[in-house]
C-alpha cells in the first residue's frame, strides 16, 4: 500500500509521482506574522483564511502550528484542527512537540494526518511516548535529526541520528518506515557564518545517505531556512534552486510557502549560477566569496526575478487571487491597494481577478465548488472591481463582450436570469439586464442601442417557452444575428433544437444553468458557438414499448365537500407549514449545496456546520419576525366534465376551464379525472396560497446590495416554503373531503404523491395556460388575502401558487 495522508475530503500520497509533496508553511504561529497576529486575537476564522489561501496556491498538506508563548496550545490546536478539518480539503500536519497536544489532535482529526515532529533531544523519552500515539492512531511523522548533543550539523551526524530514531520507531514500535519523513535540517548560508558555509552541502548529502541507509523512509525539509537573513527577492530564487537540488538528491516533501516556488527553468541563468556557487560554496578563481557575490548580484539584478515569475502569482496578487477563489472578503481593500502599486487597475482586473473567477468556474465545472460558494466568490469579485474601477484612467476602457439579458414578456421570475447576470458580469462581461416581463420590441431596441454581442432570454413558465419560440422570428425579421441563449425550467434541449433553432438565423443555444451560459459566451468569443442539436437516440420515450391510453375509472365515489363556495384563512401558524419543507430539495436544488463529489461524511459535515444553521436562522425569522405570513383562499365547487373542459358551478355562474390533452399516449387530460353531467357530476377544489411579500422585498434588497449568496438563500427558502404551504393546504383539503385515509408517512411520500388525488398548478406542465387564473380569481377572490394578477395573469406576490384539486385516485402529475 502506498503511504498516504487523508482528510475528510481526499487522500494524498506521501511520495508524489512528481516530487516534492508541498506542505504549506504559513499556518504557523512562529513562521507567519499574520497567522500569529490572528491567533493572538483568537481569530480562528482568520487563521483558517490563511490555510485556505495556501491550499488555493497549491499546498497539498498544511502544517498547522499554534505553539506560542503565553497561549494555551492545547486549546488553540484543538479549536483550529476541528475548524481546519471541516473546511480545508488537504490533510493536516500537526506541528507540535507536546505529546498531550499531539494526542488530542490525533483523536480529533477525521483522517490520517502527520505529526511534526519527533527527535532525540531528551534521549528518546518523548520520542517513545509519541511513537506509541502514532501507533495507536495510525499517523505518520516527521523526525528531526536532533539528538542529546543538539542539532546535527554534519551529514554523518544527521544520518546517525536518523538511524537511531528509525530503530526506535520501526524496531521497537513497529511503525512503517514509509510513514517516517526525516528532516535532515538545514541552516542558512546567508549569515556569513563560517561554520555554516557548507550547510547546504551537508544537508543534501544527508538526504541522499539517509535514503540509502534506511530503505523505505522519506525525507522532508523546511527549505526556506537555507536563505534566512537574505533579501526577500533573492530568498525566493535561492529557495527554489535549493529545493530543486534537494529533490534531485531524493527529497520527498518540502515545507514551504506554496505560492513562492519558481520552476528552475524560469530562473535566469546568471541567477542560477550565483545560487549554485553559494549553495556549493564555490569560490575558485573568484575575487569575492560566494555570499558577497550573491548579495551583489541580487542588489543589481533585482528585477530579473520579476520577469522569471511570469504567470506565477505572488504577494498581493496571490492574496487577491486566493480571496476570490475562496470567497474571503477580509482585508480585500488592503490587498488591492498593494496590487495597484504593482499594476494598473485594468491589469489587476484582467490579469488577476478574471483569471481567479475562471478558476472558480473550472472548480464548479468539476463539481469541486458548489453554487453558494461560487456566489461568495462573485461577491468578492464585485467588491474588488467596484473598488478598482474608480481608479481607472479616463480612456482606460475594459474591452468587454456585451450580453443582453431579459426575462421574457409575461414572466415575472428573475432569479435564474439574475444568477446568469452574476456569473457573467463577474467573469468580466458587460451585462445589460433589462429585468422581467420584457417585450420583444424593447429587447430589439436595446440590443441595437448597446450593440450587444449575445442575447440571453429567460423564463420559468411553460408559456415562456412558447413566447421565446414565437419571438425568434421577430428577432430575425428585425435583422438581429447575434447568438440567442435560452434558459428556463420549461425548456428542453429537444424543444430548443426542434422548435426554436429553425426560427432564427443565428445560433440558438439551450443553457441548463448560468455556467452553461458562460460557456456559450466564451464559445462565441472563440468563434465556435453552434446551435443546440438533439437526437432521439438514447431518449427514454423512444425505448418505451408503446404506452397505451390510460383507462380512467368512472365508478369512483365522489366525496362530500365540507362546504361549497370560498373561504379565506389568514391566521396560519408558519410552524404548521415548515414541517412540509423538503429540505433535500431546498439544500441541494434551490440552494445548490449538493453532495456532488463529497464523501457522505464530508457532506454531513457541510450540512451540519453550514447549511442547517442557515436554514435554522431563516426558520427562526419566519416564525418570530413575520418573514413568512401564510394565507389561503380556497373553496369547493360542484362541477362536471365535458370533453377536455371542466365546468365549475358557483351559485348561478358557470366557469369553464379548458385543459390541454397529451398529444401522445397515454393522452391524459385533467378533465378526465372529473365525472360528466351524465355520470352525476363531481366536486373540484381550488386554492390560491401565498406567504406574503416580505421575503420578495428583502431578496430584492439583497440582490441590489450584491449580497448574492444571501439572496439565493432567502429566495430559495421562500420558494420552498410556498411549496410547503401548498402541500400543507392540500393535506387539509384531503382531510376535509374525507379522503385522507392513506397519507404519506414521510416527505418523500409527498414527492411521489402517495396520497389520494392530485393538485395541478396553473402555469405548470399539466395545465400550462395561465389564462385559467381569470376564472380561478373569480371563484376565490384572492385579492382579499393580498394576491393580485398582473396583466399577464401571473400572481403577485411572486411567492404564491394556485391549483385545482382532483380527488380521483388515479389523478397524479403529468405533463402535456
Partner 1 sequence: MKMICANCGYIYDSEKGDPLNGIAPGVAFETLPDGWVCPLCYAGKEAFDPLD
Which residues would be at the binding site for partner 1 (CB under 8 A)? 492, 512, 538-545, 582, 584-585, 588-589, 594-596, 600, 747-748, 751-752, 765, 813, 815
Which residue, 110 or 589, has its beta carbon nearer to partner 1?
A: 589
CB of 552 to partner 1, least distance (A): 17
Residue number, 304 or 753, with CB nearest to partner 1:
753
Minimum CB distance to partner 1, residue 548 (Å) = 13
Query: What is the nearest approach in angstroms of partner 1 to the Cβ of residue 460?
Result: 12
Query: CB of residue 590 vs partner 1: minimum separation in angstroms?
Result: 8
Whole-angstrom Cα distance, residue 758 to residue 672? 13
Cell numbers for 321, please give them.
487571487
Closer residue to partner 1, CB minimum distance, 390 or 545? 545
Q: In what order do the strands lie in the sheet with 508-510?
A: 430-433, 402-407, 454-458, 484-487, 508-510
Cα separation, 758 vs 730, in Å, equals: 9
Instruction: Give the DSSP letter string of 624-657.
Output: HS-S---EEEEEEEEEEEETTEEEEEETTEEEEE
Q: What are phi and psi of 174, to 5 degrees?
A: 70, 25
Q: Give whichever of 297 and 715 is closer to partner 1, judged by the CB atom.
A: 715
- Nearest CB to partner 1, comparing residues 131 and 369: 369
Q: Output 386 or 539, the one with its CB closest to partner 1.
A: 539
Residue with cell 404519506: 744
Angle at 321 between CA 319 and CA 324, to 5 degrees: 105
What's the CA gap between 221 and 142, in Å, rounded?
10
Respond yes or no on whether the N-terminal peptide bond of residue 665 is cis (omega within 30° of 0).
Answer: no
Cα distances (Å, whole numbers) of residue 107 to 100, 110, 179, 428: 11, 8, 18, 46
d(CA 744, CA 470): 42
Report the residue number, 204 or 375, with the smaller CB distance to partner 1.
375
In 366-460, which residue ranges form alpha helices assigned H by DSSP? 371-388, 415-425, 440-449
CB of 494: closest distance to partner 1 in angstroms? 9
DSSP codes joined into one string, 123-149: TTHHHHHHHHHHHHHT-EEEEE-EETT
Compare residues 250 and 744 and give the one whose CB is closer to partner 1: 744
Cβ at position 489, least distance to partner 1 in Å: 8
Short-list 153, 115, 145, CA closest to 131: 115
CB of 133 to partner 1, least distance (A): 34
Return the number of the residue (591 or 634) whose C-beta is nearest partner 1: 591
Residue 675: Cβ within 10 Å count: 18
CA dist., res. 349 & res. 381, Å (int): 9
Residue 730 cell numbers, joined = 392540500
Q: Which is nearer to partner 1, 566 or 602 (CB)?
A: 602
Between the alpha carbon of residue 131 and those of residues 86, 122, 127, 312, 433, the distances in Å are: 26, 14, 6, 40, 63
- To partner 1, the closest distance from the beta carbon of 601 in angstroms equals 11
Nearer to partner 1, 407 or 582 (CB): 582
Minimum Å gap between C-beta 582 and partner 1 is 5
User: Strands 565-569 and 114-118, how do they pair?
Assistant: unpaired
Task: Give the separation between CA 440 and CA 474, rounded to whole angstroms.
Answer: 8
Phi and psi at residue 703, to the nearest 5°: -65, -45
At which residue does the C-alpha cell 546535527 appear? 152
Nearest CB to partner 1, comparing residues 242 and 580: 580
Q: How far is the CB of 492 from partner 1 (least distance, A)?
A: 8
Tell the smallest beta-carbon distance from residue 661 to partner 1 (Å).
Answer: 18
Nearer to partner 1, 397 or 541 (CB): 541
**Residue 319: CB minimum distance to partner 1, A:** 34
Q: Considering the complex, what minimum distance in angstroms separates the CB of residue 617 from partner 1?
A: 22
Report whether 692 contacts 797 (CB < 8 A): yes
Amino acid at each position: 500500500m502506498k503511504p498516504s495522508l487523508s482528510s475528510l475530503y481526499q487522500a494524498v500520497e506521501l511520495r508524489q509521482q512528481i516530487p516534492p509533496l508541498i506542505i504549506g508553511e504559513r499556518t504557523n504561529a512562529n513562521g507567519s506574522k499574520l497567522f500569529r497576529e490572528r491567533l493572538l486575537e483568537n481569530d480562528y476564522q482568520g487563521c483558517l483564511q490563511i490555510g485556505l489561501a495556501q491550499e488555493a496556491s497549491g499546498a497539498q498538506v498544511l502544517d498547522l502550528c499554534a505553539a506560542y508563548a503565553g497561549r494555551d496550545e492545547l486549546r488553540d490546536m484543538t479549536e483550529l484542527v476541528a475548524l481546519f478539518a471541516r473546511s480545508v480539503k488537504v490533510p493536516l500536519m500537526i506541528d507540535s512537540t507536546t505529546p498531550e497536544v499531539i494526542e488530542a489532535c490525533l483523536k480529533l482529526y477525521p483522517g490520517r494526518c502527520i505529526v511534526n515532529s519527533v527527535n532525540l533531544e531528551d534521549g528518546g523519552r518523548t520520542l517513545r511516548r509519541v511513537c506509541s500515539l502514532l501507533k495507536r492512531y495510525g499517523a505518520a511523522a516527521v523526525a528531526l535529526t536532533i539528538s542529546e548533543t543538539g542539532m546535527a550539523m554534519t551529514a554523518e551526524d544527521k544520518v546517525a541520528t536518523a538511524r537511531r530514531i528509525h530503530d526506535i520507531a520501526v524496531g521497537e514500535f513497529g511503525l512503517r518506515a514509509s510513514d517516517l519523513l526525516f528532516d535532515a535540517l538545514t541552516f542558512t548560508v546567508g549569515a556569513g557564518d563560517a561554520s555554516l558555509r557548507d550547510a547546504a552541502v551537508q544537508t543534501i548529502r544527508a538526504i541522499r545517505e539517509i535514503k540509502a541507509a534506511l530503505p523505505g523512509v522519506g525525507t522532508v525539509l523546511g527549505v526556506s531556512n537555507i536563505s534566512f537573513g537574505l533579501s526577500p527577492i533573492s530568498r525566493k530564487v535561492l529557495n527554489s534552486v535549493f529545493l530543486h537540488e534537494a529533490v534531485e538528491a531524493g527529497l520527498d516533501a518540502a515545507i514551504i510557502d506554496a505560492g513562492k516556488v519558481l520552476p528552475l527553468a524560469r530562473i535566469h541563468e546568471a541567477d542560477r549560477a550565483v545560487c549554485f556557487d553559494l549553495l556549493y560554496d564555490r569560490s575558485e578563481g573568484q575575487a569575492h566569496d560566494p555570499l558577497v557575490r550573491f548579495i551583489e548580484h541580487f542588489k543589481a539584478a533585482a528585477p530579473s526575478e520579476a520577469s522569471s515569475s511570469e504567470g506565477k502569482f505572488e504577494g498581493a496578487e496571490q492574496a487577491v487571487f486566493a480571496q476570490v477563489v475562496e470567497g474571503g472578503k477580509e482585508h480585500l481593500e488592503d490587498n488591492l491597494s498593494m496590487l495597484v502599486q504593482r499594476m494598473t487597475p485594468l491589469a489587476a482586473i484582467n490579469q488577476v481577478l478574471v483569471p481567479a473567477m475562471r478558476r472558480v468556474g473550472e472548480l464548479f465545472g468539476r463539481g469541486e465548488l458548489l453554487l453558494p460558494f461560487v456566489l461568495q466568490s462573485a461577491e468578492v469579485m464585485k467588491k474588488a472591481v467596484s473598488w478598482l474601477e474608480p481608479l481607472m484612467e479616463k480612456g482606460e476602457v475594459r474591452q468587454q463582450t456585451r450580453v443582453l439579458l431579459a426575462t421574457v414578456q409575461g414572466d415575472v421570475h428573475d432569479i435564474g436570469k439574475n444568477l446568469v447576470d452574476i456569473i457573467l458580469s463577474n467573469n468580466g462581461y458587460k451585462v445589460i439586464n433589462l429585468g422581467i416581463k420584457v417585450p420583444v420590441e424593447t429587447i430589439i431596441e436595446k440590443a441595437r442601442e448597446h450593440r450587444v454581442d449575445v442575447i440571453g432570454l429567460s423564463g420559468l413558465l411553460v408559456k415562456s417557452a412558447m413566447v421565446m419560440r414565437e419571438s425568434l422570428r421577430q428577432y430575425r425579421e428585425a435583422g438581429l444575428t447575434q447568438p440567442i441563449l435560452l434558459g428556463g425550467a420549461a425548456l428542453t434541449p429537444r424543444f430548443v433544437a426542434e422548435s426554436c433553432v429553425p426560427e432564427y438565423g443565428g445560433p440558438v443555444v439551450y443553457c441548463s444553468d448560468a455556467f452553461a451560459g458562460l460557456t456559450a459566451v466564451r464559445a462565441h468569443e472563440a468563434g465556435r458557438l453552434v446551435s443546440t442539436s438533439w437526437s432521439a437516440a438514447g431518449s427514454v420515450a423512444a425505448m418505451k414499448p408503446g404506452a397505451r391510453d390510460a383507462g380512467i375509472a368512472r365508478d369512483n365515489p365522489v366525496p362530500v365537500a365540507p362546504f361549497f363556495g370560498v373561504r379565506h384563512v389568514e391566521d396560519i401558524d408558519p410552524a404548521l407549514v415548515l414541517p412540509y419543507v423538503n429540505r433535500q430539495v431546498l439544500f441541494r436544488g434551490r440552494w445548490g449545496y449538493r453532495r456532488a463529489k463529497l464523501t457522505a461524511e464530508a457532506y454531513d459535515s457541510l450540512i451540519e456546520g453550514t447549511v442547517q444553521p442557515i436554514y435554522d436562522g431563516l426558520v427562526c425569522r419566519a416564525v418570530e419576525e413575520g418573514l413568512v405570513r401564510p394565507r389561503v383562499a380556497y373553496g369547493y365547487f360542484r362541477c362536471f366534465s365535458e370533453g377536455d373542459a371542466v365546468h365549475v358551478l358557483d351559485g348561478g355562474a358557470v366557469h369553464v376551464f379548458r385543459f390541454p390533452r397529451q398529444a401522445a399516449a397515454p393522452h391524459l387530460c385533467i378533465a378526465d379525472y372529473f365525472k360528466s353531467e351524465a355520470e352525476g357530476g363531481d366536486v373540484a377544489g381550488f386554492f390560491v396560497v401565498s406567504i406574503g411579500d416580505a421575503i420578495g422585498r428583502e431578496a430584492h434588497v439583497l440582490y441590489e446590495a450584491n449580497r448574492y449568496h444571501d439572496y439565493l438563500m432567502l429566495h430559495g427558502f421562500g420558494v420552498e416554503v410556498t411549496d410547503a404551504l401548498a402541500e400543507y393546504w392540500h393535506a387539509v383539503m384531503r382531510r376535509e373531503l374525507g379522503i385522507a385515509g392513506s397519507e404519506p408517512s414521510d416527505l418523500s411520500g409527498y414527492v411521489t404523491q402517495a396520497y389520494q388525488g392530485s393538485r395541478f398548478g396553473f402555469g405548470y406542465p399539466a395545465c400550462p395556460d395561465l389564462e385559467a387564473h381569470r376564472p380561478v380569481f373569480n371563484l376565490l377572490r384572492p385579492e382579499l388575502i393580498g394576491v393580485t394578477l398582473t396583466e399577464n395573469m401571473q400572481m403577485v406576490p411572486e411567492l404564491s401558487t394556485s391549483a385545482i384539486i382532483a380527488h380521483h385516485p388515479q389523478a397524479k402529475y403529468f405533463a402535456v
